[in-house]
């Protein structure tokens, strides 16, 4: 008997770190930029995790650091 892999009751596999990074991106978009501490407060993501995610997003060109604040890059490196 074949197994139905599209069963509606099964939960999708989600990657938590991607969800957290997207919450940060959404918060920076809404705020126009914010400190890591503020981003942690408004997203509920622990501050050390916020720093790790911001460092990765900065390295990949999605986030810019200006003084103590972080904001989305004006030219996001999205596929064109």
CA-to-CA distance for 61 and 41, rounded, in angstroms? 24
H-assigned helices in the chain: 16-31, 36-43, 47-59
42-80 pLDDT, tens digit per residue, is: 999 999 999 999 999 999 999 999 999 999 998 887 765
CA-to-CA distance for 74 and 56, rounded, in angstroms? 17
CA-to-CA distance for 39 and 21, rounded, in angstroms? 11
19-28 pLDDT, tens digit per residue, is: 999 999 999 9
pTM for this model (two decimals): 0.80
Partner residues linked to 64 by β-bridges: 71
More confident residue, 54 or 12: 54
Instruction: Check if the beta carbon of residue 47 is closer than 8 Å to that of residue 37.
Output: yes
Instruction: Please report which confidence band the pLDDT of residue 10 belongs to, taking 50, 70 and 90 as the band edges.
Output: confident
């Amino acid at each position: 008997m074949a197994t139905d892999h599209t069963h509606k009751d099964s939960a999708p596999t989600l990657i938590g770190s991607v969800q957290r990074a997207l919450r940060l991106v959404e918060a920076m978009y809404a705020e126009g930029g914010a400190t890591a501490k503020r981003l942690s407060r408004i997203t509920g993501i622990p501050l050390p995790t916020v720093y790790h995610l911001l460092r990765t997003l900065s390295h990949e060109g999605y986030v810019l650091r200006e003084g103590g604040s972080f904001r989305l890059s004006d030219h996001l490196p999205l596929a064109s």
